[in-house]
Amino acid sequence: AQSVTQLGSHVSVSEGALVLLRCNYSSSVPPYLFWYVQYPNQGLQLLLKYTSAATLVKGINGFEAEFKKSETSFHLTKPSAHMSDAAEYFCAVSEDGTSYGKLTFGQGTILTVHP
């Protein structure tokens, strides 16, 4: 079965600093990988997805993630944090090799941005 591990349940950065949220996965099939963001009292919003095209994936709000098969990683980065980036972030892998089917989520990482 697929699994996802997010390293660090809480990450704190200063405004303007690099954001790095770590995600490692295990998958028995070529994976579809996703990053979702959850703002307080809201549902999950798709940030970006990897579906076996380019290994560097650009998403919304200046975020990007790089798929590294050798490291089974899909870390999320943003060069310069903004206060509005404060939220909880979830990495997810598709269970069945499609992007629309069951997702297995990581535990989530809460990002705090300090002025």
Partner 1 sequence: EAQVTQNPRYLITVTGKKLTVTCSQNMNHEYMSWYRQDPGLGLRQIYYSMNVEATDKGDVPEGYKVSRKEKRNFPLILESPSPNQTSLYFCASSSNAGINQPQHFGDGTRLSIL
- Asked if residue 99 lies in contact with residue 51, where contact means CB atoms within 8 angstroms, the answer is yes
The least CB distance from residue 36 to partner 1, in Å, is 8
Interaction of residue 4 with partner 1, rule CB under 8 A: yes
**Are the C-beta atoms of residues 103 and 95 closer than 8 Å to each other?**
yes
Residue whose CB is less far from partner 1, 15 or 108: 108
Contact 31, 24 (CB under 8 A): no
Verify binding: residue 84, partner 1, rule CB under 8 A.
no
Over the window 37 to 76, marking each residue x when it contacts partner 1 by CB under 8 A and - when it does not, the resulting string is ----xxxxxx--x-x-------------------------
Window contacting partner 1 (CB under 8 A); options: 15-23, 56-64, 69-77, 106-114: 106-114
What residues line the site for partner 1 (CB under 8 A)? Answer: 4, 9, 34, 36, 41-46, 49, 51, 90, 92, 98-103, 105-108
